[in-house]
Amino acid sequence: MIDINLIRTNKELVKENIRKKFQDAKLPLVDEVEELDKKMRALKQEGDELRAARNTLSSKIGFLMKEKKIDEANEIKAQVVKNNDRIAEIEKEEEELSVQIRKIMLTIPNIIDKSVPIGKNDTENVENERFGEPVVPDYEIPHHADILDSICGLDKESAGRTSGNGFYYLMGDAARIESAMINFARDYMIDKGFIYCIPPFMIRSDVVDGVMSFAEMNAMMYKIEGEDLYLIGTSEHSMIGRFKDQIIKESDLPIRMTSYSPCFRKEVGSHGIEERGVYRVHQFEKQEMIVICKPEDSMKFYEQMWKYTVEICRALNIPCRTLECCSGDLADLKVKSCDVEAWSPRQKKYFEVGSCSTLGDAQARRLGIRAKGEKGTYYLHTLNNTVLASPRILIAFLENNLQKDGSISIPKPLQKYLGGMEKVLPKK
């Protein structure tokens, strides 16, 4: 949510930002919220004047009563009652206007960074940099479901019986590899100075409203029936929500945390859930990172954070690249975002395994996350980044570490999490 002062002082900037995101249908909302805000401020001024007049009149009543000027005192009392009635009306109108303004403000997109490329959708995202050589070996790389089957690592048939389409059992060495990668990512982030956390896996609706747009929520999140609770789609939501309505000491900044959680997503949309394999599923595991910092520090942390994901990919022998998200591909709360994509030697192309974003003070405004310093209180900036998300990173790992004989090589950084295992041999 942007600062309403931007609409008061520079609404053309807000409109131009909407155009850059190709959301022209939202342009009238800027004028609408401007008019509502003017009404709100006029009501506030009227209310303040009436309260001041009430105080003045009330002080006269006692004086007049002492002077036995009963009729004059009663006239003033009547005026005070009239003022009180109007004040009550104003407060009700202010409350209604406040709800309307907030509802609109939640739909107006955040101001994107000047460096963000302008484009309509993800087809116009821009490659930034490649890390590692994208090798295509001289032997066939099977579909990841077949690689998992060769090590007896995947059971979707049973999951279909217990849970339905979009779920899976990960078994044996495949499950061990996934856990090893998550543990490696956890320890990597701890070594970088991040505080490790296992957060709640459900959050209330007011936290959901604070961290994402309604459209995202509707497409992603599962609601618990009969409860004001949602299953998290990513642990950044409960991590950021931890600081809701808090005023943080500047001396405690920056806050850097890394979290493990399962994640649950409806995956509503044209892409659908895969019948074969585990690329797009309803449940997965993720190691996440968040940063809460001063506004002037957010871009510095943004540049640090995506590099951690790249370094982890390279440690797992996965070539990758970063892709700058264009304006039309940015979620409304985001100021700037890039995807980390892993190389698929089977498909001979890259695919997304993580995303790094800075949201400016949008989430902080929604959730009331502020800091107190010498210049008073101010809203903080929030950032998030995928450290490692499986099963997508598992797919990339299997394809890039599969050997000609069907074995799967285990990179050295992972071996200590697998009891020293150097390779996984096929069982079929």
Q: Are residues 156 and 26 in the same domain?
A: no
For residue 271, the model assigns a pLDDT of 63
Q: Are residues 166 and 87 in the same domain?
A: no
Each residue of 383-413: pLDDT tens digit?
Answer: 999 999 999 999 999 999 999 999 999 999 9
- pLDDT at position 273 is 66
pLDDT of residue 220: 86
Q: Tell me if 111 is assigned to some domain.
A: no
Same domain, 355 and 418: yes
DSSP state of 402: B
The verdict on 245 and 169 lying in the same domain is yes
Looking at the structure, do residues 157 and 244 belong to the same domain, yes or no? yes
- Are residues 383 and 325 part of one domain? yes
> Does residue 88 form part of some domain?
yes
Identify whether 113 is part of a domain. no
Within its chain, how far is the Cα of 122 from the centroid?
18
φ, ψ at 97 (rounded to 5°): -65, -40
- Does the residue 110 lie in any domain? no
**Residue at which a domain ends, from 105, 139, 170:** 105
CATH number at residue 71: 1.10.287.40
Type of residue found at 106: L
Query: How many Cα atoms within 13 Å fall on the side-chain side of residue 198?
Result: 4
Helix (H, G, I), strand (E, B) or coil at 130: strand
Which parts of the chain have pLDDT scores under 70? 59, 61-68, 268-274
Number of domains making up the chain: 2
Residue 116 lies in a domain: no
Q: Are 339 and 243 in the same domain? A: yes
CA distances from 303 to 75, 189, 206, 255, 343 (A): 68, 15, 30, 16, 21
C-alpha 278/C-alpha 50 separation (Å) is: 64
Q: Which domain holds residue 58?
A: 4-105
Same domain, 88 and 135: no
Q: In this structure, are 97 and 172 located in the same domain?
A: no
What predicted TM-score, i.e. pTM, was given to this entire model? 0.90
Tell me which of 105, 134, 152 is where a domain ends: 105
